[in-house]
Structure 1
Amino acid sequence: MGLLRWPTGSDRPGEGTARRRTRWSWPDLVVALGMLVALYAVIRVGEGTTTSFTPSRTPEIDTDPANLPYYAARSLLRMFAALALSLAFTLVYAYVAAHSRRLERVLIPALDILQSVPILGFLTVAVSALLALFPGSMLALECAAVFAIFTSQAWNMTFAFYHALLTVPRELDELSRDLRLTRWLRFWRIELPSGAIPLVWNAMMSFGGGWFFLVASELITVSGTDYTLPGVGSFAGAAIAEGNLAGMGWAIAAMAVLVTGVNVVFWRPLVAWAERYKVEQTEASQVQRSLVLDFLRRAYWPRLLARACAPLRELTMRAGRVLGRDDGPLQVDLRRRRAGDVAFWGVTGALLAWGLAGLAGYLDDHGGLSVFVEPLLLGSLTLARVVVLVAVATLVWVPIGVWIGSSPRLTRIAQPVVQVLASFPANFLFPLATWAFVRTGLSLNVGGIVLMALGAQWYILFNAIAGAMAIPTDLREAMDDLGVRGWQRWRRLIIPGIFPAYVTGAITASGGAWNASIVAEVVTFGSATLTASGLGAYIAHATQSGDHPELLAGIAVMSLYVVALNRLVWRRLYRLAQTRYAW
């Protein structure tokens, strides 16, 4: 297995020439103007986030298409703010979970629970807390919306990077220990590069998950009070409430433009850039390309900014050599370890007992344990839909994802299409589905599976693509030379190669399906409303009516189902991927 190829100036077509160019040219002018326009847009759009409001008079959403550019900019700013927050959370949380034996036993189950908590549950708590923190300021609602989008992005990214840290190639792990790299250098030189491809692809998928819950984050209903934020999601929600098909068409068109533009300007260059961190001995004959990235490499601005940041980079590296010093493996004192374990689990158990005691007191005042009976029964119906969804999505999308990820040329063509399909908020199409279900007489108990799949199946597809792309080129060429085809190629190369990525995708698809059930089991267009029997509809009703005991019971039961599924199925597959299928 080869080392990570830290590229030089000649690693990519045209890059070496760009690095040698030191004169200013027209690409520099275009990049400078683009940066100024982007900065102006952020300042202009950000002005609306600090205005005052009262709960009875939040901004009204005008469905005039002329307002869509401003609304789109507001939504886009929230999405990227949530992405930055998710990335910071991912790097810290996944690193701590992967490197601390004790904390891993708490953080990973906690991540399972956080992933299983419906976004509406986060919104209910976040809005109340932030309104108390920023009374009368629109900033409270903006922070609540960003936090809601963050909860739809962070868990998938964290799981992907955590797994990448656990499956660092053995040769690189041994090399870093032989060279006595500090923890800081090991992270930046070994661990982060080796996880770059799955992190980028899962961040792209998580960004799409954020689009899915845009309506819920911009049209917030808590305890019977409606809070509205200007954005594409709230525009679509207003059009749905009015039964305005033309307005829905404009919202769908605006989303298509947004998703395509973000893919071309942001995600496509990142995917092409991440290719440099592929672990292989021979370079692929075809590599990912991006016109935007090639254009940036022709400009002098990026290298000028890199030079300006060089002192800061050197300062952090020096600090890391001191703070992250690793003197190699030490002899373990079993008695001290046992004492530390006892203290750690003692504190953890005490905190858990305190929380359970408070919960028991609250439930005792609001009907006792009987409140859990109905959501437990309804949860079994939603569980059946989730199982069917994951099984069908695996059979359909894994072969397609491998086909796309195995061909850089096909990836260049298919990836923008897949990104648009995955990032497009499927709940924008739910009103049309409602109309179709009413016309055909199809029950939402069955049609809800299709609606849930529109928001969850893409996690499996994206991870299958990322897993196929990460298979080293030299192994593919070896299989070609040996004439290994068909099922033997799948069994010997493809399934082992994509299995870790697939498990990550299946876990997040399962969690995403549970979350999607809340908006898929109750769909409305104009005066027509369809409701399915399930836990998602139960939570949506409790949120709408402000029934906190029912909402708490629904969230707790959904968390119970998701965690049990993860413990019994996905965690075992995770361990198998880590022990048997790591490169």
Structure 2
Amino acid sequence: MTSGEPAFHPGRIAAFPRSARALVKSLLADLSAPVFLAGMAILTAVFATRWLPVLPQPPRALNLAAWAAPLSAALTVSRMAMALLLALIVTGVCAPLAASGGWSGTLLTRLTRAARSVPALGRAAFLTPLFLALYSRNGTGAEFASIIATAGSIAPDAAFAMILALRGVPAELDLAARGIGLTAWQRFWRLDAPCAIPSVCDSLAASLPGAWFTLLYAENLTWVQGGGSFPGIGSYVVAAATHAAIQPIILGGGVMLVVALACNRLGLKLMTAWAARYRLGDVERGDPMRDSALFRALRLSPVLRPATRVATSAVEFVARLRIGGRPRAQHLSEPPATENRAIPVILIAGGVLAALYGDALISNHHLFGDFLHICFFGLLTTIRVLALIALISLFWTPVGVWLARRSVAKQIVGVCAMFPANLLYPLVVGVAISAHVNAGFWLAVLPALGAQWFFLTHILRGVETFPADLLRAATAFNVRGGLWWRKVMLPGLAPACLGGVIAAANAAWNASIAAELVRWGDRDFELLGIGGYITHASVNGEMTNVALGVAAMTFFASSSRLLIWAPLTNALRRRTGREHVVLR
């Protein structure tokens, strides 16, 4: 789940090119930043492999007692908190620079958009052996790898959402800020940040399930690669799987379910209510935080009220500092007059030169030949993902329409989406082996365990916003059965279905990195595909192969968005006139 990407509106997708020349130009523009990031990752991997050799070490023993599961979960939650803080800092620094326009702003925007195409688990597979080699496999390297990889699954989405929010600041508020003489620093705290809070919070809520998935996968890799005694719920479960112990896996999953429930019912609910205060538009609605019983209970806490008062005073003091000059007259919502056409060329040239230089430094590899070989693995994974998405769509569309009538369904689906499904992968493989069933089939099905909830979430939202007048008209004309589905429900649910398909495909594509190689006992069960290739290379410390695999996955993700999802989204928008398709 990326991995955890923020809400997307089809109006922000360029129209699908109508000519071959325009198609080539769009491909070069959209793939320039991914090519640059891939080239730099390959060069970094070559340098690290040459001067920081990663020698695989056996994992250390972990305590699998029952009391160790809550402690491991607490350590995992602390890493998630640090990752969120790091992601917010990166977002607050990069997004205003990117939204300011100009050459640097355009470059940052392209790199941020490209970073969203990089699979979150691919970042974790790349960073884990790198930091373990940099810090000689001590606890510092393991912590850095897990926290930075998790923050990397949140920051690009949050930064991109903040860029769009800053460019959409109302012109009258911009004029007011310049009229009262706010400096750039004061404007950020008093105008830009409050306007961006709703978009950033929505992005965090959408990215959090993928962040949990990424964090547990990073803990898994760190322990398998001998990164010291690294307790966490991810390493706890994989250590239990190595000993073929089902009971600790169930216990770890139960503890993580409690964490997911608390995160969904407490954290997300409070964050959504707090962000609603800053939404522009309806000023007559009540305060959602003051209307919340949970918030009223927290306000009575003898610890929270003084802490909140201190934090508020600190933020107000920082916001009053007169740092920097006054912003230029051009408003952020106004796009640059002309976009520098040299940027895509520079990015592509830089990425290709970095990859060529990395290829020249190693003698036992032919990077571009290996890249084509990895693309074949990517095709195998793509075929399996598409088959899973088709099955998910056929099953959950009618079931989702039926579940939408139950008020508790949305809450249960939210908790299921928050739960990191990779905790269940060893358990499914262990049960399949105990039942003497082909484990390869279940490895192919594993990505659907988490992806299905993203599709179902979109279906529930689509039914919730379905025009009630249309349903009443269908009832009045006695439209039933297959005709009701073909003429009423499916056309109305088309935007939600497409958004769910895109979200589920991205989640399954990302989850394949963890699902195509699963350990049970003293055996590794691997499925031929790009995900298994990346995980296998990361476990063995082959950073160059990891970089090539992640580059191939990024290429597939960027190309599919331009060649498949964008045309489908635009065609549906023209056909239905609805703008709320969500691309994840």
TM-score normalized by the length of structure 2? 0.70
Matched, 1:76 2:77: yes
Contact 1:517 1:537 in 2 (8 A): yes
Residue 80 of structure 1: how far off its partner (Å)? 1.4
Structure 1: which amino acid aligns with 2:197? L
Q: Contact 1:211–1:425 at 8 Å: present in 2 too? A: no
- Cα deviation for residue 376 of structure 1 reads 1.9
- Secondary structure at the aligned position of 1:213 is classed as helix
**Where does the alignment leave 5 or more consecutive residues of structure 2 unmatched?**
1-54, 476-483
Task: Select the structure with the greater relative contact order (CA < 8 A; seq sep ≥ 6).
Answer: 2
- The yes-or-no answer on 1:423 pairing with 2:418 is yes
1:173 aligns with 2:170: yes
Is residue 439 of structure 2 the alignment partner of residue 434 of structure 1? Answer: no
**C-alpha distance in 1 between matches for 2:56 and 2:531:** 27
CA distance in 2, matches of 1:284, 1:258: 32
Mapping of residues 465-544 of structure 1, within 5 Å: 503=499, 509-527=504-522, 529-544=524-539
> Shift of the alpha carbon at 1:489?
8.1
Over 3 Å counting, the alpha-carbon distance change for 1:257 and 1:189 in structure 2 is closer
The 1:448/1:69 distance shift into structure 2, 3 A limit, reads closer
- Greater share of residues in helix: 1
Asked whether 1:388 is paired with 2:383, we answer no
> Within 2, Cα distance between the matches of 1:484 and 1:191?
41
Per-residue deviation at 1:63? 1.0
Q: Is the 8 A contact 1:452 1:516 kept in 2?
A: yes
Distance 2:401 2:108 in 1: 34
Superposition RMSD on alpha carbons, in Å?
A: 4.6
Is contact 1:197-1:271 (8 Å) kept? yes
Asked if 1:213 is matched to 2:208, the reply is: no
Asked if the contact 1:97–1:104 (Cα under 8 Å) also holds between the matched residues in 2, the reply is yes
Which of the numbers 523, 537, 545 marks the counterpart of 2:540?
A: 545
Q: Percent identity, aligned pairs only?
A: 23
Note if 1:141 corresponds to 2:142: yes
Distance apart, 1:521 and its partner CA: 1.5
Aligned: 1:119 with 2:121: yes
Aligned in 2, Cα 1:203/1:117: closer, same or farther, shift over 3 Å?
closer
* SS, match of residue 341 in structure 1: coil
Is 1:201 the equivalent of 2:200? Answer: no
For residues 536 and 382 of structure 2, what CA distance do their matches in structure 1 show? 19
1:365 Cα deviation (Å)? 4.7
Match of 2:12 in 1: none
User: Is this contact kept in 2: 1:212–1:455, CA < 8 A?
Assistant: no
CA contact (8 A) 1:200 1:274 kept: no
**C-alpha separation in 2, matches of 1:382 and 1:391:** 14
TM superposition shift of 1:341: 2.5
Q: Offset at 1:99?
A: 5.1
Query: Do the aligned partners of residues 217 and 378 (structure 1) sit closer, same or farther apart at CA in structure 2, a change above 3 Å counting?
Result: closer
**Cα distance, 1:149–1:464 mapped onto 2, change above 3 Å:** farther
Q: 1:280 to 1:296 in 2, by over 3 A?
A: same
CA contact (8 A) 1:119 1:515 kept: yes
Can you list the C-alpha shifts for 1:125-158, whole angstroms capped at 9, x where unaligned?
45434653x4574222111121232234444545
Q: 1:218-233 counterparts in 2 under 5 A? A: 218-221=222-225, 225=226, 227-233=228-234
Judged with a 3 Å threshold, the aligned counterparts in structure 2 of structure 1 residues 293 and 525 are, in CA distance, closer, same or farther, namely same
Q: What per-residue deviation string (whole Å, max 9, x for no partner) do you get for residues 261-301 of structure 1?
A: 33344233223434445666497899797543231234576
Structure 1: segments with no counterpart, 5+ residues: 1-53
Equivalent in the alignment of 1:273 = 274
Name the SS for the 2:383 alignment partner: helix
Give the Cα–Cα distance (whole angstroms) in 2 for the partners of residues 527 and 311 of structure 1. Answer: 56
CA distance in 2, matches of 1:377, 1:281: 52
2:550 paired with 1:555: yes
In structure 2, relative to structure 1, the CA distance for the partners of 1:107 and 1:578 (3 Å cut) is farther
Distance in 2 (alpha carbons) for counterparts of 1:202 and 1:162 = 17
| Alpha-carbon distance, 1:525 to partner | 2.1
Q: Distance in 2 between matches of 1:147 and 1:493?
A: 41
Distance 1:400 1:295, change over 3 A: farther
User: Counterparts in 2 of 1:334-353, with a 5 A limit?
Assistant: 341=340, 348=347, 351-353=350-352
State the shift of 1:248 in Å.
1.8
Aligned-residue offset at 1:424: 2.4
Aligned-partner residue type, residue 74 of structure 1: L
- Report deviation, 1:187: 1.8
Give 1:576 deviation, angstroms. Answer: 8.1
Offset at 1:241?
0.7
Contact residue 533 and residue 549 of structure 2 kept, 8 A: yes
After TM superposition, the structure 1 stretch with the greater mean CA deviation from structure 2, 541-550 or 177-186, is: 177-186
| CA contact 1:379–1:535 (8 Å) conserved in 2 | yes
Distance 2:579 2:82 in 1: 33
Q: Does structure 1 residue 325 correspond to structure 2 residue 321? A: no
Q: Could you tell me which residue of structure 2 aligns to residue 192 of structure 1? A: 197
Contact 2:195–2:278 under 8 Å retained in 1: no
- Asked if the contact 1:255/1:424 (under 8 Å) is kept, the reply is yes
Residues 224-257 of structure 1 deviation map (CA, whole Å, 9 limit, x = unaligned): x554411222121111111112222222222223
Given the superposition, is the C-alpha separation of residues 467 and 87 from structure 1 closer, same or farther in structure 2, using an over 3 Å criterion? farther
State the distance in 2 between where 1:57 and 1:392 align.
39
Please say if residues 198 and 463 of structure 1, whose CA atoms lie closer than 8 Å, have aligned partners that are also in contact.
Answer: no
Q: Residue 213 of structure 1 contacts residue 425 of structure 1 at CA under 8 Å; is this kept in 2? A: no
Alpha carbons 2:123, 2:149 under 8 Å: kept: no
Instruction: Report the equivalent of 1:293.
Output: 295
Query: Structure 2 vs 1, CA of residues 55 and 371 (structure 1 numbering), >3 Å: closer, same or farther?
Result: closer
Q: Which amino acid aligns with 2:415?
A: V
CA contact (8 A) 1:437 1:444 kept: yes
Determine the structure 1 residue equivalent to 2:253. 252
Contact 1:197–1:466 (CA<8 Å) still a contact in 2?
no
Residues in 1 aligned to 2:96 and 2:524: alpha-carbon distance in whole angstroms: 45
Q: How far did 1:355 drift?
A: 1.4
* Contact 1:156/1:202 (<8 A) preserved: no
Moved more, 538-547 or 71-80: 538-547
* SS of residue matched to 1:219: helix
2:512·2:532 contact (CA, 8 Å) conserved in 1?
yes
Q: CA deviation at 1:189?
A: 3.8
Is the CA contact (8 Å cut-off) linking 2:116 and 2:157 kept in structure 1? no
The Cα shift of 1:448 comes to 3.4
| CA shift for structure 1 position 310 | 4.9
1:379-405 deviation per Cα after TM superposition (whole angstroms, max 9, x unaligned): 11101122233444456667877898x
Scaled by the length of structure 1, the TM-score of the pair is 0.70
Instruction: Indicate if the aligned counterparts of 1:208 and 1:422 stay in contact, CA closer than 8 A.
Output: no
* Cα distance in 1 for residues equivalent to 2:364 and 2:128: 24
Shift of 1:453: 1.6
Counterpart in 2 of 1:379? Answer: 378
* Contact in 1 for aligned 2:125/2:535 (Cα 8 Å): no
Compared CA separation, residues 343 and 555, structure 1 to 2 (3 A): closer
Change in Cα spacing, 1:577 to 1:270, as seen in structure 2 (3 Å) is: farther
Aligned length: 504
Tell me the residue number matched to 2:236.
235
2:89 pairs with 1:88: yes
**1:275–1:287 Cα contact (<8 Å) kept:** yes
Q: Determine the C-alpha separation between the residues in 2 that align with 1:401 and 1:315.
A: 49
C-alpha distance in 2 between matches for 1:489 and 1:176: 42
Aligned residue runs from structure 1 range 454-469, under 5 A: 454-462=449-457
The residue type equivalent to 1:202 in the other structure is A
Secondary structure in 1 matching 2:84: helix
For the residues of structure 2 that align with 1:491 and 1:555, how far apart are their CA atoms?
Answer: 36
Matched-pair contact (CA < 8 Å) for 2:443–2:527: yes
Contact 1:121 1:551 in 2 (8 A): no
